[in-house]
Structure 1
Amino acid sequence: MNEGLVVAVRGIVSFFSLLIFARILGKQQISQLNFFDYILGITLGSIAASLTTDLTSRAWPHWIGLITWVILGICLERIAMSNRAVGNLIDGEPVVVIANGKILEKALKRVNYRISDLNAILRNKDIFNIEEVEFAVIEPNGQLSVMKKSEEKPVTRKDMNIQVKGEGLRGTLIYDGMILETGLKQLNMTYESLFKELNKHGIKSVREVFYAAKSPEGKIYIDKYEDYISRITKL
């Protein structure tokens, strides 16, 4: 019983320690983590796990080890931000693997990529012909960034000299059957004007609406609880 209590206390300490240290080290998306960040995260988790369950040793050595790794991680990140050489050493550098539709074999070998890996990633980006690619760069986090050749890019409205006004951000008017006053103020609407819009769509009560939003240009989107969709195609 005493051992279980000790594990519970250590677990609570470890949990909140990791939470605090994660905030100190900075918040990133998983896809943005480089190899150093990945190893640092695994090590901190391993130390925290030992702090929780290793009852054969005292807690304070694990705690000191946890703090030491966090301090080293912070110091290296600060140095990497101010020193480009150190940053490249820790984070790695982008590597160009395709230039003007030609594969750079030496660069591909340097990052341990096979041609099958490269083709698979390109297909995920809807590119089935390497000749369409102007440049392809493998980023330090392992992701592939691709720039298509100019003639392969889709035609935009700008290319056709078509003037288009930006739609702006939509303001939420109703969520889960409740009117949001902040959305009304943002769009300079009143309750009366809102109900007029709802009546245009055959809605008599706000409770019928799950979500409603309106753009600054006046385009309104309404999603009701009852959508009357009789059939949904399985993907």
Structure 2
Amino acid sequence: MITAITIKIIAGFIALMVVIRFIGKKELAEVTPFDFVFIVILGGTLEEGVYDEKVRVWDVLYTIGLWTALYLLTDFLVRNFERLRPIIKGEPSFLVNNGLLDIKELKKNKIESEQLRSLLRMQGVFSISEVKYVLLEPGGQISILKKNSSDEDTGGVLTHLLIDEGQIEERILAQIGKDKQWIIHQLKEEGYEDINKIYYAEWSEENGLYVQTYD
């Protein structure tokens, strides 16, 4: 039995190392609820398989491989089909929008006012009146932009990701009252005739477009 457990642990360890290489590097702060569930179930599956004599090492490897394949398939679909992204991995929510609490978003995300105040205090903000925007990230963290802050203090202004990995984010365009033709026109005015060459583009009211091409 000791030998079987040892083989399973070694095989599982190697398999997990391969899985990590496939998934890529992520900081803990970047892990979404979807990623967290994947990790927990993967660890639980390995733990159950190691100490169950009826489970062979090939069963453990098959389970890890299949679960990882499903994760990678889902990640591929999220990357290539914009409509699936908010459903599977979530999207940022404005808890404070232009200095005003968004009560609808607070209720939707089940966050009470005191919880929001606690999250702000962790970032050195002791009054909601100090912030212009507060975003709840998919991983549960908050990002803030203070009122009357200069670019030097905060690193910039609120920007909107309009092109991500070569794909136009029509959902975000709709949120800011723009459409696909608008971004194409803006890019052409900046000298970008071939949209397919653009990898990343963000936009803000204050600073306009920032564009990065594949080249």
Interval containing the TM-score (normalised by the shorter chain): 0.5 to 0.7
CA contact (8 A) 1:14 1:49 kept: no
CA contact (8 A) 2:11 2:61 kept: no
Give the match's secondary structure for 2:55. Answer: coil
1:58, distance to aligned residue in structure 2 (A): 2.7
Q: Which has the larger radius of gyration?
A: 1
* CA RMSD, 1 decimal: 1.7
Distance, in Å, in 1 between the alignment partners of 2:6 and 2:145 is 52
TM-score of the pair, normalised by structure 1: 0.61
User: How many pairs were matched up?
Assistant: 153
Query: What is residue 64 of structure 1 aligned with on the other side?
Result: 62
Query: What is residue 43 of structure 1 aligned with on the other side?
Result: 41
Distance, in Å, in 2 between the alignment partners of 1:9 and 1:103 is 55
Query: For residues 185-231 of structure 1, what are the alpha-carbon distances to aligned partners after superposition, in whole Å with 9 as ceiling and x for unaligned?
Result: xxxxxxxxxxxxxxxxxxxxxxxxxxxxxxxxxxxxxxxxxxxxxxx
Query: For residues 125-170 of structure 1, what are the alpha-carbon distances to aligned partners after superposition, in whole Å with 9 as ceiling and x for unaligned?
Result: 22112111111110111111111112xx26959xxxxxxxxxxxxx
Give every structure 1 segment of 4 or more consecutive aligned residues whose post-TM-superposition deviation is greater than 4 Å: 154-157
Query: What is residue 209 of structure 2 aligned with on the other side?
Result: none
Query: What is residue 121 of structure 2 aligned with on the other side?
Result: 123
TM-score of the pair, normalised by structure 2: 0.67
Alignment map for 1:28-39 (pairs within 5 Å): 28-39=26-37
1:11, distance to aligned residue in structure 2 (A): 0.8
CA contact (8 A) 1:97 1:104 kept: yes
The gaps in structure 1 that reach 5 residues or longer are 158-235
1:15, distance to aligned residue in structure 2 (A): 0.9
1:14, distance to aligned residue in structure 2 (A): 0.8
Of 95, 98, 103, 1:97 maps to 95
Distance, in Å, in 1 between the alignment partners of 2:58 and 2:69 is 16
Alignment map for 1:1-235 (pairs within 5 Å): 3-150=1-148, 153=149, 156=152
The gaps in structure 2 that reach 5 residues or longer are 154-215
Give the match's secondary structure for 2:126. Answer: coil
CA contact (8 A) 1:51 1:63 kept: no
